[in-house]
């Protein structure tokens, strides 16, 4: 490409414009750096030196000096909430809500953050009021999700069902497994009122919503058993195998007792043994062991335990085996009895159900974790946990 004469005239102009622009940018940058409070740089310095508490105080000072630092207010409020300093978070977000100089979008965001503060503080009524106000705002979807959580915490199951349906209409995936639990809770409430019709209707709705709802099948079986229809109860409980066989230990004893009431104890025992063969489980083994003791005596129960110990050694199976040995031993066999007592105490002390989400441990099985409120998060099989 040849350099023409007019290029020589234009090039100096471009250089001059570039130099002027650079001067303007440098001056603008210097003016901005002088406008930033020193507390801001102190906060950054504290963060770099891993002093988060002092950094937070420095940033709070920046927020006081410059009332226009909205993002800093939001960030600090969320940080206070995460650290458990709920009072400070509420004050910061309430101050933003009360400001008249914010536009609608900024005010709504501050209101949403305040609702989250109230939820964290356990002030559910206040949080509910805020999230209801936000249902027609850009925060509508998040507000409805928080309302659903509030209704579950408050055990307002009808409102929880309605909100879950509203969220589904909003485009979120259906929460059929959770909704089935809400209907199961309504069924329990109906049974407390001795309203078996409403209880049955809710359980059937739960299964229609979520055909793999083990809880609905178990509760439906209990309803049938209380009504004296053991055949229907057995049919309901046997559905658990196809829904989720991990829950068979929860339903196994109910199944056997129903067969027994029908005069079919042997058939019930064979069914449980078949389950144990297909789905090995220490909890299920313990139930089969006790049924064998009742139905056929200690000898056959001990033989079953000995075989199980060879396949899958377990402290809990050992406890059952030693119990059978102790029952068959001579009265003077103190060693066997002492060994069985020691193992039994250890098993009793360390066996718990545990939540896979938050680690909560309990001796009783829960469908909803009392600690984190997660549904189906507690494994239906006891595990050994050292104390």
Closest CA to 375 of 182, 156, 167: 182
3-state secondary structure of 380: coil
Residue 377 pLDDT exceeds 90: yes
Measured CA to CA, the distance from residue 38 to residue 16 in angstroms comes to 35
Q: Could you say which DSSP state residue 173 is in?
A: P
Q: How far is CA 211 from CA 122, 222, 341, 361, in A?
A: 34, 18, 43, 28
User: How far is residue 138's CA from residue 112's CA, in Å, rounded to a whole number?
Assistant: 10
Q: Cα dist. 247→91, 213, 217, 261 in Å? A: 47, 11, 11, 22
Yes or no: say if 267 and 259 are a contact pair by the CB < 8 Å rule. yes
372 is in an annotated binding site: yes
How many angstroms separate the CA atoms of 150 and 159, rounded?
10
Position 356 scores a pLDDT of 92
Paired residues of 368 in beta bridges: 375
Is 369 labelled a binding residue? yes
- Tell me what pLDDT residue 332 has: 58
Question: pTM score, two decimals?
Answer: 0.79
Structure tokens belonging to residue 301: 């129960």
CB-CB neighbours of 343 under 10 Å: 18
Q: Which of 211, 154, 227 is nearest to 179 (CA)?
A: 211
What backbone phi and psi angles, to 5 degrees, belong to 136?
-110, 25
Q: Which range among 25-29, 84-88, 165-169, 175-179 shows the weakest confidence by mean pLDDT?
A: 25-29
355 annotated as belonging to a binding site for a ligand: yes
Q: What are phi and psi of 161, to 5 degrees?
A: -65, -45
Paired strand residues for 121: none
Q: Is 332 helix (H, G, I), strand (E, B) or coil?
A: coil
Is 377 in contact with 341 (CB distance < 8 Å)?
no
Rounded mean pLDDT, 178-193: 97
Helix axes 104-121, 86-98, angle to 10 degrees: 160
Report domain extents, the chain. Answer: 179-237
pLDDT computed for residue 385 by the predictor: 61
Work out the number of other CB atoms within 10 angstroms of the CB of residue 254.
18
Question: What's the CA gap between 213 and 240, in Å, rounded?
Answer: 9
pLDDT digits (tens, 9 = 90+) for 117-146: 999 999 999 999 999 999 999 999 999 999
Whether 257 has a pLDDT exceeding 70, the answer reads yes
Residue 340 has pLDDT above 90, yes or no: no
Q: Of 68, 67, 65, 44, give the one whose Cα is nearest residue 54.
A: 44
Residue 210: other Cβ atoms inside 10 A: 21
3-state DSSP assignment of residue 324? helix
For the stretch 25-60, pLDDT in tens is: 434 433 444 444 444 444 444 334 445 555 445 445
**How confident is the prediction for the chain on average, in pLDDT?**
82
Say yes or no: domain 179-237 is CATH 1.25.40.
yes
Instruction: Count Cβ atoms below 10 Å from residue 173 Cβ, excluding itself.
Output: 7
Average pLDDT over residues 205-227: 96
Chain centre to alpha carbon of residue 51: 33
């Amino acid at each position: 490409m040849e350099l023409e004469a007019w290029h020589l005239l234009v090039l100096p102009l471009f250089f001059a414009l570039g130099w002027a622009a650079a001067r303007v940018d440098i001056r603008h940058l210097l003016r901005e750096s002088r406008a930033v409070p020193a507390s801001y740089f102190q906060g950054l310095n504290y963060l770099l030196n891993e002093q988060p508490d002092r950094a937070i105080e420095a940033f709070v000072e920046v927020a006081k000096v410059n009332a226009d630092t909205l993002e800093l207010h939001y960030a600090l409020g969320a940080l206070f909430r995460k650290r458990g300093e709920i009072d400070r978070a509420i004050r910061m977000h309430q101050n933003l809500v009360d400001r008249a100089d914010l536009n609608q979008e900024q005010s709504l965001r501050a209101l949403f953050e305040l609702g989250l503060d109230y939820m964290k503080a356990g002030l559910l009524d206040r949080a509910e009021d805020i999230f209801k106000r936000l249902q027609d705002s850009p925060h509508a979807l998040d507000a409805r999700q928080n309302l659903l959580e509030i209704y579950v915490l408050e055990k307002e199951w009808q409102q929880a069902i309605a909100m879950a349906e509203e969220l589904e209409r909003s485009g979120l995936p259906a929460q059929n497994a959770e909704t089935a639990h809400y209907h199961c809770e309504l069924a329990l409430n109906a049974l407390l009122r001795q309203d078996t019709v409403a209880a049955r209707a809710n359980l059937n709705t739960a299964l229609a919503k979520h055909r793999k709802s083990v809880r609905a099948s178990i509760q439906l079986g209990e309803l049938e058993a209380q009504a004296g229809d053991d055949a229907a109860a057995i049919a309901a409980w046997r559905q658990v195998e196809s829904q989720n066989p991990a829950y068979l230990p929860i339903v196994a004893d109910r199944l056997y007792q129903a067969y027994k009431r029908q005069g079919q104890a042997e058939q019930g025992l064979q069914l449980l043994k078949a389950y144990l063969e297909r789905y090995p489980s220490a909890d299920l083994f313990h139930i089969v062991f006790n049924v064998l003791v009742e139905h056929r005596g200690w000898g056959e129960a001990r033989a079953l335990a000995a075989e199980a110990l060879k396949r899958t050694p377990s402290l809990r199976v050992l406890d059952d085996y030693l119990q059978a040995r102790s029952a068959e031993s001579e009265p003077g066999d103190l060693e066997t009895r002492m060994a069985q007592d020691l193992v039994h105490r250890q098993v009793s002390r360390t066996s718990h159900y545990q939540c896979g989400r938050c680690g909560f441990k309990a001796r009783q099985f829960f469908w909803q974790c009392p600690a984190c409120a997660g549904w189906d998060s507690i494994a239906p099989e006891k595990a050994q946990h050292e104390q």
